C-alpha cells in the first residue's frame, strides 16, 4: 500500500472545491484539473526526462455520458479524454519533466476506464459518488518494451440537501484530483522513470 501525502492531496482538493464555485449547466459539466494546486511530488524525484504523452484513449463502457439523473444524461462540456489528458500533462510538467515527441526517453499512454457520476436519492438528501479510473502504460521508445502498467482510481462522495450541477462538478473534480494524486505519488512509477536511459545517454 502506497504511503499517502495528506498535504498535497489537501491542496488539490481545496483547489477543486474552490474552482467549483461557479455555476455550470447540467448539459455540460465543466470538470477541470486545478493547475494552480498541482505541486511537485514523488514523480519529481526522478531525474528530468523527455516524455511523449500519447492522446488519452477512452475505454469506458458508455462514452456518451458520465451518468444519469431522473432519465436525463449527465455529460461533460469537453471530451473526457481531453480532461484527463490535460491533467496528465500538468502532472508530468509540474514534476520537472519535458513533454515532447522528439528524442523522447519514454512513452506514456493513458486510457480512461471509468469517469462516472452516480446520484443516490434519499428522503431529505442526495449522495453523489464520483469515480475516475485511469490506466497508464510506460514504454521504451527504442525497443517498444512495456516498462510499467498501472491503474489509478479516485473516488469522491458528497451528501447534499439541495441538488445542483455545482455539486456534481465538485464531486468529479475531486475524484479526478485523487486519481492524479495516486499517479504522481506512485513509487513504482517514479522508480521506473529514475532507471530510464536517456536519449542523450544511451
C-alpha distances (whole Å) from 177 to each of 39, 43, 62, 66, 172 are 12, 15, 22, 17, 9
Q: Is residue 196 over pLDDT 60?
A: yes
Calculate mean pLDDT across residues 162-178: 85
pLDDT tens for each residue of 52-111: 999 999 999 999 999 988 788 999 999 999 999 999 999 999 999 999 999 999 999 999
CATH fold of 6-195: Rossmann fold (3.40.50)
Is-contact 133 113, C-beta < 8 A? yes
pLDDT tens for each residue of 34-51: 888 889 999 999 999 999
Cα 198–201–202 angle (5° rounding)? Answer: 80
d(CA 165, CA 172): 11
123 falls in which pLDDT band (50, 70, 90)? low
Q: Does the pTM exceed 0.85?
A: no
Amino acid at each position: 500500500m502506497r504511503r499517502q501525502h495528506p498535504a498535497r492531496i489537501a491542496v488539490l482538493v481545496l483547489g477543486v472545491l474552490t474552482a467549483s464555485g461557479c455555476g455550470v449547466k447540467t448539459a455540460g459539466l465543466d470538470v477541470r484539473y486545478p493547475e494552480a494546486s498541482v505541486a511537485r511530488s514523488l514523480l519529481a524525484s526522478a531525474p528530468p526526462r523527455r516524455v511523449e504523452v500519447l492522446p488519452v484513449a477512452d475505454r469506458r463502457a458508455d462514452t456518451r455520458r458520465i451518468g444519469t439523473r431522473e432519465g436525463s444524461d449527465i455529460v461533460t462540456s469537453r471530451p473526457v479524454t481531453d480532461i484527463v489528458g490535460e491533467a496528465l500533462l500538468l502532472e508530468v510538467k509540474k514534476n520537472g519533466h519535458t513533454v515532447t515527441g522528439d528524442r523522447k526517453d519514454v512513452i506514456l499512454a493513458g486510457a480512461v476506464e471509468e469517469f462516472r457520476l452516480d446520484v443516490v436519492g434519499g428522503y431529505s438528501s442526495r449522495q453523489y459518488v464520483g469515480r475516475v479510473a485511469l490506466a497508464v502504460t510506460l514504454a521504451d521508445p527504442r525497443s517498444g518494451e512495456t516498462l510499467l502498467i498501472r491503474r489509478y482510481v479516485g473516488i469522491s462522495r458528497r451528501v447534499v440537501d439541495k441538488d445542483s450541477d455545482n455539486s456534481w462538478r465538485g464531486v468529479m473534480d475531486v475524484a479526478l484530483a485523487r486519481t492524479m494524486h495516486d499517479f504522481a505519488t506512485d513509487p513504482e512509477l517514479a522508480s521506473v522513470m529514475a532507471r530510464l536511459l536517456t536519449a542523450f545517454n544511451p
